[in-house]
Structure 1
C-alpha cells in the first residue's frame, strides 16, 4: 500500500546530498553562472533596440536582474568559504565578480529609471568593492601561489573597480536632466568636413537595401546621423541649440526613404546614449580603459599560468582559467567593438587632439578601416549572420494594431468568461493575444505623414517651441463643416480616438472595405489600408501604450465602450443566430473551442472569420442602434454611429469620405507624436521604439529646416 511518509523519508538522503553538493560547490557554480550572464547580455542586449517582447527580451531582463544579485551572493560565499582547506584559489575570483558588476558595454540600464538611480548604484559598487577587498585581505597569508598570484589578483581587482565605476558614470550621464545640463556646453560633432566628397553621393542603387547595397546604405546613413545627432539629443531632452548642422539643409535631397532611415539611425544612437555605455566608452579615457583592461587581463592570465598552483584543486584551477579566458574574450570584444564603431568617427571629428584627428581622418586611415568593416557587414548580410548578430541599426518597421470590434466579437456570448488563475493563463497562452498584433508600416502611411508634416511646417502651424498650434483634427476638418459638426473631437484626444475608431470601422463595413487586409491591399485600396492601419494603431496606443498619448490615461473610457460593443454583439448574435443558445458555462466552452479551432486554422486577427464578425457587428450598429438611448443620452458608440452615418451619406454624393477620414487620422497621428512627452519617447526606445517617436523627430527636423531656411 502506498505510504506518503515512506516516500518523503526516502527523499531525505537525496535532499541531504544536494545540500552537501551545494555547500561544497556553490561558489564555483555562482562565478561560472555570473560569467555566463555576461555573455548572454553581450550577445543579446542589442535585440532591445529592435524588438518589444518575446523570449529573448525575457532572457535579457532575467540576465540583467540576476547579474547584480549573483555577484552579491557570490561575494558573500567567497567571504565565508575562501579560507577553507583546498579552496584557497577562490580568493582570486572576487575581482572577477567586481568586473562582472561593471557589465558589458552594450547595456548599462534596462529602464530609463535605472539612470535616475545612479547614486544607489554607487553604494552597491562601494559595498561590492569592500567585499572583494575583504576576501583578498582575508587570504593575505596564503602564499602558496607566490608573487605572480597576487599580481594577477591586483590587476583584476583594479580592472574590475574601474569598470564598475565606469558603469556608474554611464548611468549618471544618461540621466535626462544631466544630458539637458550638459547640452549647454557640449559641442556637436563637426563631421561634415570629414565626409569624403565621393561619399556625399548616395550609394549605387539608391537607398534600396537589397543585397550588397544594404551595408553601404547603412554606412552612408550612419555618418550623417552622427552629424545631426547633437540636434536629435537636444530635441529629446527638450533643450535648445543655436547651431543648425549644414546637413539639415539637405534633409530632403535624397528622398523619403533616406529621411526615414536617417531618423531611425538617429534614434538608435539615442538608444546608445540612454541605455548603453556609449557616452563614456567613446571618449579618450574610455578607449584607454578598454585597451588597458585587455592588457591587464592578458597579463593576469600569463601571471596565473606561471604561478605555483601546487596544492590547489584541479577544478578550481580549471574554473580560474575559464574566468580568465572569458574575461579576456569579453574585454577584447568590447575593445574591438568600440574602436570599429562609427561612434569613433564622431569622436575623432570632435576631439581636441588635432594630431590624432589628422592621423586618422585626414590621412584616410579611418576610411580604409571602415571599408574593411563594411565589407565584413556585406558578407554578414549575404550569409544571414547579420540577422543573428543584430548588426543593423534599422528600426523594426512595424506598428501595433488593436481593434475594439475584434475583441468584442471573439467571445460569441458577448462577454468574456470569468476565467482566473491557471485557467486564464492556459486559455490566453493557448490562443495568443486576443486583439493586439502588429503589421508593417504601409508606404501610404509614411507618404501621408511626410506630406502632412510639410504642410503644417509651410503653413506656420508650429510655434517656436516646435509644438503644433492647432488642436487635433482641426486642420483636417476645416474644409468640411458638415462633418466637423458631428466630429466629436472631445476635450481629450482619447475620446476622439475611440469615436473615430468606431466610425471608421462602421463606414468601411458599409462600403464593403472592412475585410480588406492591410498587407494584401491593391493599388485601389491603398487609402483603405492606411486608414485601417492608423485607426487600429491609435487604439493600440490607447490600450497598450497610454503613456505615448498626451494627457491622462483613459482606461474607463475604452472599457465602458467595449462593454457597450460586447452587449450589442450579444444582441446581434442572438438575432442572427450566430451562436447556439447556450447558458454558462456551456457557452463559454463553445467560445473557447471556436477560438481554438480558428487558431489551428491559422486564424489570426485578419483571418476571414474574425473580419466577417467585425463586419457583422459594424453593420448591426449602423442599422439597429439609435443615436440616443432610452434616457435621451448618447455614448461614444452612438457618437461613432452618428459620425459614420454622416460620412456614409456624404460618400453617396461627394465621394470623398475616405479622404476625409485618412486626413483626420493622419492629423491625429502627427499631433499625438508631437505632443507626447519626451520622456515617454525615451522610455519606448528600450522597447523597440514606436512609430510616433519617428514622426516626432521627423517633425522636429522639418521645423528646424524651415526656421534655418
Structure 2
C-alpha cells in the first residue's frame, strides 16, 4: 500500500515540474527564433544557423507536448495555476513575425499545419474549461485574453504559410496593382555617395525596391505583369553598376520576407490591428494577474506565470514596433485605399520623420556592432562559393567513400570569395548585349545555347568547346581547361605580379570557373537539368589516377587516409588557404602534367571529360588567329555560362536558396529580368 501511494505522488511531482521546465523552454525557443531569424539572410551564419534550425524544429514539438501533458491533467495536481499556461503555448505555436517557414516546403504544408492547430486549440480549450472557467476572481479573464491572442496568432501563421505558397502568390499577382509610391521615389543619391552610412544607404534602396517589387514577385512565380519599370531603372543609369546591384539585393530581401516570414499578413490593415490589440491584451492580462489573489498558488508557479506574461509582452511589443517601423508600412500606406490615412502619414511628412528616427537607431546599431551580431542588415553577403577540382584531388587523395567523409569530417574542399567587380561589370555588359540583340524570348528565356554567342567568331575553339553538351558536362570540361590554361600561362600563382587589367580578368575567370563547379558539387539544384553527381566523381577519380603517375623529382606522397589526415591537420595548423602557394603549386604540377600527358580513354569513358578539357586547353593555348586574347575569350564563355545558368535555373530553386543567404545566380537572373522588362517597356 505504501508503494502504491508513493508512485502517483512521484509521478505527479515529476509531471508538474517537467511541465514548468517545458513551458519555460518553449519561451526560450521563441526568444532564440526572434533574435536569430535574421542570420538566414546571410551565408556565414555558422553555428547560429544550427541553433536556429534546432529551435525551429523544437518549438512546435515542445508546445504540443506541453499542451498534451496539460490536457491529460497529470501536471495539474498541486499546480492549479499551470492551466493558465495553455494559452501561452498557443501563442508560442504562432511564433515570432520574422520567421514563419524554415524551408520553402513548409509553405506547401499549410493544410496539414492547420489541421494540427485544430487539435492543439481543442486541447488548450479543454484545459481552460476544466480548470480556469470555474475559478474565482479575474484569473479567468486574464486566461481568456491570452487564449484569444494565442489562437489569433496561431491562425495568422497558417495564413502566412498559405500566402507564401508559390501557387497562391501566382494567383495574387494577377489581381495586384503596381505600387502608387513610384512618383515619390525620384530622390537622387547623394553626390558624394553615402560615405559608409549603411543605415541611410539601405533606407534609400529599400524604398525603391518596394516600388519595383511587383516585378520581382511576378518573375519569381513565373507570371507576367503589365508594369513599366523603365523610369525607375533609368534613374540609376548614371550612378554606376553598384546601385543596380544594391537595388536587386533589396528586392530579393523583400522576396525573402514574403516567402519565409509573416510579412504577407502582418503588413495589412488587419495585421496592424491584430498587433495593436494583442499587445494591449497581453498588457491587460499581466495587470489582471498582478491584482488577482495568488495566496493558494505555488510561488514557483506564480514566478513562472510572470515570466510567461513578461515574455509574451516583450514578443508582442517587438512585433508591433517592428511592423510599424518597417518600410513595408511605407508600401502599405502608398497602396492603401484609406486616402485620409495616406495623406495624414505620407503627405504630411509624419512617416518620413518616423523613418529618420529608425535610420538613426539603425546607424547606432551599426556603430556599436549590434547590427552585425544580430544580422539586422538586409544586404546580400556579396560572396560566391568556390570549388576547384584540381585542388580537391591534390589534397584529399583517399579513393572511395570513407566514413569520415560521409560525416563531413574531411578537409573542406569549398570556400568563399568576394564577388570581383570585374565579374559584376562583365555580367552587366553581357546582359545588356543579349537583351539588345533580342536573344531573350517573350517569356524571358535566353534563346541561344551557352557559349554560342561568345565563340561565334572563333570556330577552332568552338569545334572542341562541347557546345552541344549538357551544362554540367560543359562546366567540368571548361573548369579543367581553365586551370590547365592558366597554369601553362603562369597565371595560376602570384597573379599580383600581372598588370591591373590582366589581373582583374584572371581573377574573374578563376572566380566564375570555381563558382560554377561549386554549384555543380554543392548546389546541383541551381543548375538546369538533372543533377549528375557521377560526372564529377568519375572525373575526380581520373585526375587522382593521373596524379599518381607524376614521376620524381616531384615526390609522390604516400596515398591513403594517413596522408589525407596529416594534410588536413597541417593545413589547419599552418593556416594554409585555398589560394596559398603550396596548394596552388600542387595544382600547377598536376595541370602541367595533364597538358603534356593526355590520359588513355578507358572502357567506361571515365577519362573522357578530362581528355576533352585537355584538348580544349591545348587549343586555347595555341590559338593565335585573332587579336583577341585567349583570356578574354575564356572570360566571355564563363560569363555566358553564368548568365545562361542563372536564366535557366528553375524559379523554385531560386526561391529555396533565398533561405540560405541566396546565390549570385539569383541576382543575375533578376537583373536579366529587369533589363528585359525595361527593354520591352521602352519599345
Q: TM-score, normalised by structure 2?
A: 0.95
1:28, 1:632 → 2: CA distance?
64
C-alpha displacement of 1:318: 0.1
Aligned to 2:573: 600
Aligned to 1:707: 680
Alignment equivalent of 1:177, drawn from 167, 172, 182:
167
Provide Cα deviations, 1:16-63, integer angstroms capped at 9, x if missing partner. 999887434100001000000001000000110112662111111111
Instruction: Describe the SS at the equivalent of 2:377.
Output: coil
Q: 1:299 to 1:518 in 2, by over 3 A?
A: farther
Q: 1:319 to 1:519 in 2, by over 3 A?
A: farther
Aligned to 1:403: 388
Aligned to 2:188: 201
Residue 670 (structure 2) pairs with residue 670 (structure 1): no
Aligned to 2:657: 684
Residue 352 (structure 2) pairs with residue 367 (structure 1): yes
Q: 1:17 to 1:259 in 2, by over 3 A?
A: farther
Between 1:517-526 and 1:315-324, the stretch displaced more is: 517-526
Residue 328 (structure 2) pairs with residue 355 (structure 1): no
Aligned to 1:232: 216
1:384, 1:52 → 2: CA distance?
16
C-alpha displacement of 1:654: 4.5
Aligned to 2:34: 42
Provide Cα deviations, 1:416-452, integer angstroms capped at 9, x if missing partner. 47532xx5578x53x541x111101000100000010
Residue 130 (structure 2) pairs with residue 138 (structure 1): yes
Residue 402 (structure 2) pairs with residue 419 (structure 1): yes
Provide Cα deviations, 1:589-638, integer angstroms capped at 9, x if missing partner. 13321331122100122222111111110000001225756999970100
Alignment equivalent of 1:494, drawn from 469, 472, 477:
472
Q: 1:160 to 1:631 in 2, by over 3 A?
A: closer
Instruction: Describe the SS at the equivalent of 2:150.
Output: helix
Residue 368 (structure 2) pairs with residue 390 (structure 1): no
CA contact (8 A) 1:194 1:361 kept: no
Aligned to 1:444: 422
Q: 1:675 to 1:369 in 2, by over 3 A?
A: same
1:19, 1:536 → 2: CA distance?
60
1:669, 1:449 → 2: CA distance?
8
CA contact (8 A) 1:48 1:688 kept: yes
Between 1:236-245 and 1:78-87, the stretch displaced more is: 78-87
2:603, 2:490 → 1: CA distance?
31
Aligned to 1:558: 536
Residue 86 (structure 2) pairs with residue 94 (structure 1): yes
2:245, 2:573 → 1: CA distance?
37
C-alpha displacement of 1:188: 2.1
Aligned to 2:597: 624
Alignment equivalent of 1:256, drawn from 235, 241, 252:
241
Residue 198 (structure 2) pairs with residue 218 (structure 1): no
2:243, 2:43 → 1: CA distance?
22
Q: 1:578 to 1:320 in 2, by over 3 A?
A: same
C-alpha displacement of 1:457: 1.0
Aligned to 2:555: 578
CA contact (8 A) 2:383 2:417 kept: yes
Between 1:648-657 and 1:388-397, the stretch displaced more is: 648-657
Instruction: Describe the SS at the equivalent of 2:447.
Output: coil
Instruction: Describe the SS at the equivalent of 2:332.
Output: helix
2:67, 2:212 → 1: CA distance?
45
C-alpha displacement of 1:531: 0.2
1:322, 1:449 → 2: CA distance?
54
CA contact (8 A) 2:623 2:630 kept: yes
CA contact (8 A) 1:627 1:639 kept: no
CA contact (8 A) 2:20 2:304 kept: yes
CA contact (8 A) 1:82 1:135 kept: no
Residue 671 (structure 2) pairs with residue 694 (structure 1): no
Aligned to 2:101: 109
Provide Cα deviations, 1:214-271, integer angstroms capped at 9, x if missing partner. 2221111111000000111001001111121341343424221100000000000000
CA contact (8 A) 1:82 1:89 kept: no
CA contact (8 A) 1:626 1:638 kept: yes
Residue 53 (structure 2) pairs with residue 61 (structure 1): yes
Q: Mark the runs of 5 or more structure 2 residues left unpaired by the alignment.
A: 1-7
Instruction: Describe the SS at the equivalent of 2:454.
Output: helix
Aligned to 1:167: 157
2:479, 2:494 → 1: CA distance?
16
RMSD after superposition: 2.3
Q: 1:477 to 1:148 in 2, by over 3 A?
A: same
Instruction: Describe the SS at the equivalent of 1:183.
Output: helix
Residue 433 (structure 2) pairs with residue 455 (structure 1): yes
1:518, 1:61 → 2: CA distance?
41
Alignment equivalent of 2:329, drawn from 319, 340, 344:
344
Alignment equivalent of 1:147, drawn from 137, 162, 172:
137
- What is the 5 A alignment of 1:68-87? 68-81=60-73, 84-87=76-79
Q: Mark the runs of 5 or more structure 1 residues left unpaired by the alignment.
A: 1-15
CA contact (8 A) 2:398 2:564 kept: no
Aligned to 1:656: 629
Instruction: Describe the SS at the equivalent of 2:102.
Output: coil
Alignment equivalent of 1:537, drawn from 515, 521, 541:
515
Q: TM-score, normalised by structure 1?
A: 0.91
C-alpha displacement of 1:557: 1.0
Q: 1:375 to 1:518 in 2, by over 3 A?
A: farther
Q: 1:341 to 1:630 in 2, by over 3 A?
A: closer
2:63, 2:607 → 1: CA distance?
60
Instruction: Describe the SS at the equivalent of 2:416.
Output: strand
1:304, 1:432 → 2: CA distance?
56
Q: 1:115 to 1:577 in 2, by over 3 A?
A: same
Aligned to 1:514: 492
Instruction: Describe the SS at the equivalent of 2:623.
Output: helix
Q: 1:141 to 1:457 in 2, by over 3 A?
A: closer
CA contact (8 A) 1:82 1:90 kept: no
Instruction: Describe the SS at the equivalent of 1:44.
Output: helix
Count the aligned residue pairs. Answer: 674
C-alpha displacement of 1:164: 0.3
Aligned to 2:458: 480
Aligned to 1:287: 272
2:545, 2:606 → 1: CA distance?
17
1:91, 1:152 → 2: CA distance?
12
1:632, 1:293 → 2: CA distance?
66
Between 1:369-378 and 1:239-248, the stretch displaced more is: 239-248
Between 1:686-695 and 1:477-486, the stretch displaced more is: 477-486
Q: 1:370 to 1:630 in 2, by over 3 A?
A: closer
Instruction: Describe the SS at the equivalent of 2:622.
Output: helix
1:519, 1:171 → 2: CA distance?
54
1:202, 1:394 → 2: CA distance?
17
1:215, 1:263 → 2: CA distance?
17
C-alpha displacement of 1:489: 2.4
Aligned to 1:11: none
C-alpha displacement of 1:520: 11
